[in-house]
Amino acid sequence: MTLDLFEKFNSTIENFNQLPKGELNPFTVSMDAVISPTQAIINGRETILAGTNNYMGMTYNKECLEAAELALKNFGTGTTGSRVLNGTYNGHIKLEETLKDFYDCDHAIVFSTGYQANLGIIATLAGPKDYVVIDADSHASIYDGCAMGNATIVRFNHNDHENLDKRLDRIRRKDPDAGILVVIEGVYSMLGDLAPIKELATAAKKHNAYVLVDEAHSIGVFGATGRGVAQEQGVEHLVDFTVGTFSKSVGTVGGYCVSNHPKFDVLRLVCRPYVFTASLPPSVIASATKALELIKNSNLRTKLLENSKRLNDGLSDAGFNVGTTGQSPIAAIIIDQQDTAIAYWQKMMQNGVYVNLAVPPATPNGLNLMRCSLSAAHSFEQIDYILEKFIAVGKEIGVLK
């Protein structure tokens, strides 16, 4: 009898088949039309978008649209090649120069997605004789980069610098000359908590380890010029590699890594996800370049964090079990039962509010979350409407008394 390669997915298929069909299935949402960074038509209903990671609202920025349209007209729809073959255009070089200016660093490399940036950089830097030490709540792309590189993986307790120090001390006692890469995130995407980068990076440097910070959810949001949590905390000098994405604050798609390491550019020759993937389309790199220029001198982050505080404080005051404190643009409430979380999401959609239903294995510690990611483009009126519906639905389904 031939082994069914899909047999291992049977439990997942069974769980999915138990969900309602059609518009009440949270994993089959399709937007009929997008009106603005904060509004769309979903299932024929005008809906407030509160789960898109569009932090700066750049998807409809006039200057970004114009830059993309001009590049589309002048260079076509795609590159049809990787960067090392026929896929490097002048726009890619300009985007990397813009990143170097944005981060005030010596080197920058652009990938086709943020996922590939983590996959490529981690897998290439840390090989079989090295160690990658990661926060237990790390994103899937970090875990996958570790697996691809065949390094020894060591986890430390979430945001716990003392536990990190113990892990590194143990490694150094065992293998004094090993290469070590410590990987942390500026903002953790599910609950929105910030990393104490100073304490974590100081522990890493104590044991002669390199530090990589993924600022995917913090570029544009934190720091005097939007470089992220490391800039906000004044510890960029402790960070060796910064990874990020264009798919959130920058409003398009793609990823990058920046660094001051003098040998950094050799990654263009040895990093497989860079070498063997088609490069970003001209329209994408043009809009990303313009967005970075705008974010550097923007005050949108002030409005964004005001929005976040307004929603997080409102949820907390209403009595929800919140996973965040309003310090990042992510607001999440914790729901005990998964079926209750699904029902909550469905009711919010019926009330014209789209949020993220986040369930295991995508969440830390097996949590079920109703997760919002806010935008600087949201008005206070929209924030108040979202909060009103959270409270009303919470009472209707028994999450709130």
> 165-185, pLDDT tens digit by residue?
999 999 999 999 999 999 999
pLDDT of amino acid 192: 86
- pLDDT above 70 covers a percentage of the chain that reads 99
Looking at domain 19-49+299-396, does it have CATH number 3.40.30.10?
no
> So where are the chain's domains?
19-49+299-396, 62-296
pLDDT of amino acid 325: 65
pLDDT of amino acid 1: 60
Pick one of 3.40.50.2300, 3.40.640.10, 3.40.630.10, 3.30.360.10 as the CATH number of 62-296: 3.40.640.10
pLDDT of amino acid 262: 97
Count of residues in the chain = 401
pLDDT of amino acid 326: 62
pLDDT of amino acid 15: 83
* Residues of the chain falling short of pLDDT 50: none
Q: Rounded to whole angstroms, how far apart are CA atoms 85 and 81? A: 6
